[in-house]
Chains A and B, each alone.
Chain A
Amino acid sequence: MMSVSCKTGYMNGYRFLIRFGLILTVLTLAANARAAKISDLESIEFGEQLVRFFSMEDELLRTVLLGSLCLGLCCGLLGSFIVVRKLSLVGDALSHAVLPGVAIGFIVAGHKDPLAIFIGAIVAGLAGTVLVNLIKSTTHIKEDSSLGMVLAGFYGLGIVLITMVQKASIGNKAGLDKFLFGQVAALSSKEVTIMAVITVLSLVVIGLFYKQFLVGSFDAAYSKALGIPAQFFHYLLMLLLAFAVVISLQAVGAVLVSAMLIIPASSAYLLTDRMHRMLILSCLFGMGSGAMGAFFSFLGPNLPTGPLMVIAASTVFAASFFLSPKHGLVSRWLRFRDRTRRIRNENTVKAIYHVREKNYFEGEGVDIDALAARLKETRKATLLRVKFLTDANLGDVKEVDGNKNIFLNPEGWLMACTVVRNHRLWELYLTNEAEFEADHVHEDAEKIEHMLGEETVRQLERLLDFPRKDPHGKLIPSLADLQRTLTHSPRKNEPSGYRMPHS
């Protein structure tokens, strides 16, 4: 049915245009279509509505809520596979392509029969995907364009058919316009039954064949090589996807169904890096969004459900985007801030090392002015740096002969030696092994010194045969020197603790 894979996001602009055109069409159509909402049935107050919602005494309300939960669960479950397989556009195409089938199902049955509409929609969806593959395989038009054309063409046809049906004088056509933007209130109990059946079916199928779906999504060729009928499971997944789209159609609307597939799953993808947890989270987010959409649609006057559900889902996504522990904006900013602080401190202790080195490591303290001169900055800037250093518990500032001096503690001195060691080893590596000129290596080492891990440094040392001098003839602190800085605690009145050897 579909063996589609979209690799890049280059079609975003294109998608937007299509979307925009579609929305314009729909808006013109929807302008005179007025939906029947639960809140229209009786005009009661906001507070009473709240009570009504949570008391769950209303039969109609229970039906609607069950429908919303089912569609959220079903979309969240299948959406996860769509997202990790990079098939999001297929969900989009499918949801638009089913629309003519809805109208045809209606015409054939003569009234809004859920089963006829379900079958019509599935057939239309399958026809659309077959058409996409046909265009792709017989011409040199690529997949994104074929998808775009088919989804727009089918959608256009669907709108025309639905409009015609509504103008014609056949049967009871209430609720047909809901297929565009969605209205849970228009769900009948028969429709909710179909939704529940499909949801349970999806859960059972995914649960039973989880391993086949997992390996097929991760590495389709490998799954074939294992002897798993990969093609069969691919089609099975696509069929379930079509089912999910169709049962969600009336509650969410054709325009936004794909959002319910993609958004909860993407939010979950930001929060975890295990497929089974992603599935669970995605289902929960889908159900939450579905229930929220139904709730606000119930409270608010004349608000369509689909957009409300999508807004709820998007809010969840926004929260994951900012707060996800690994990929979230906030944690990334925190990590960036920590790194910046560490690098600033490393640069400060390195400068302190340099000043002490110039004085042959005599005396422990370093005068603030000498440090400022070394760093080529103002005294004020240096004082600020030093404050960060003392805040990080790497040293103390003491007055010596009326001048402020910075004294590193053993941790601070260890940090200084480590950074200098990284820097000089890297310089030596570049000149000796990579054959850089000695005057080309400093800039590079300035960056690398903050990133070299312990393991890499050991490797460098072995490779360079435990060198003592860098390309400029300066001492490279060895591992033994580093250890000494930590173990040696200066006794009272002893002139210089953790003093570096004079080479």
Chain B
Amino acid sequence: METIPLETHDLTVAYGKKPVLYGVDVQVPKGKLIGIIGPNGAGKSTLIKAIMGVIPLTSGWVKIFDKPFKANAKRVGYVPQRETVDWDFPVSVMDVVLMGRYGRLGWFSRPGKKDREIARQSLDKVGMLPFADRQISNLSGGQQQRVFLARALAQQSDLYLMDEPFVGVDAATEAAIIAIMKELKEQGKTILVVHHDLPTAKKYFDMLLLLNMRVVAFGPTSEVFTNELLQKTYGGRLTILSEVADAIRTQ
């Protein structure tokens, strides 16, 4: 049997003492484009950060292709939210995309000719090659997002985690990103995308993970995108759960 790209068991995360994710169990199949959907504060970004160990887990475990994240970090590509970085930082577009190669380099080695070539191809794929030598502060929102996508492509991973890649981008960029995601999928890669626009979610993704502090549902879009489940995700706030969480925090 082929190994599962991503499996979590009882993944629980708390910020300070306030729990934000409870017992997430998912087994993500290979070669799918998966949307993570849920209201604000549902823990969507937290989930993907926790998967990569950016945020420590309170309990539970994560396996990437049947190994802990650290052992398989190379096989995971990441597109963080755009506003998490300082775009005045003194680096060029090329420098940023080359960072995608750092995970594959040894402790002491520098990116070489081959890495530059891969970075160039990644930039070309997102249509940003002409901007390679630009400083990143001169880019528009859509261009910034393309650079982040190119950086993830340069990682040449098998599993991609993308945090709100469609926020604040123009229609052309959105279409370009979707096309690239589909292409990655064709190559047998698995892509998880944090997304918050319901109408496009139905259109874009093969599978949906409905999340609101815990997994409400996870399955093929046609089965999961139902009124009942969406209502459960968005409408029915888990009042007692969040009250208890607040109580834990204040103690």
Contacts and interface: CB of A to CB of B under 8 A. Distances in A.
A33 interface: no
Chain A, interface residues (CB within 8 Å), range: 20 to 34
Contact of B90 (A210, A224, A225, A274): A274
A212, A214, A269 pick with most chain B CB within 10 angstroms? A214
A274 B54 CA distance: 27
B90 A273 contact: yes
B150 to A, nearest CB: 13
Given A217-B89, A218-B85, A222-B99, A211 B78 contact: no
A402 B54 CA distance: 81
Closest 4 CB pairs of A and B: A227-B73, A226-B103, A273-B135, A225-B78
B74 interface: yes
A83 B7 CA distance: 40
A274 B78 contact: no
Given A218-B96, A219-B84, A274-B92, A224 B105 contact: no
B90 A211 contact: no
Contact of B54 (A209, A211, A218, A221): A221
A217 B151 CA distance: 16
Contacts of A86: 86
B61 interface: no
B41 interface: no
A209 B107 CA distance: 7
Contact of B108 (A84, A208, A217, A227): A208
Interface in B87-119: 89-92, 95-96, 99, 102-103, 105, 107-108, 110-111
B201 interface: no
A209 B76 CA distance: 22
A211 B111 contact: yes
B70 interface: yes
Given A84-B89, A211-B105, A278-B90, A218 B73 contact: no
A222 B91 contact: no
Interface string A200-214: 000000001111101
A189 interface: no
B70 to A, nearest CB: 6
Given A211-B110, A227-B103, A222 B89 contact: no
B3 interface: no
B84 A221 contact: yes
B182 interface: no
A225 B99 contact: no
A157 interface: no
Contact of B102 (A208, A221, A228, A275): A228
Contacts of B151: 222
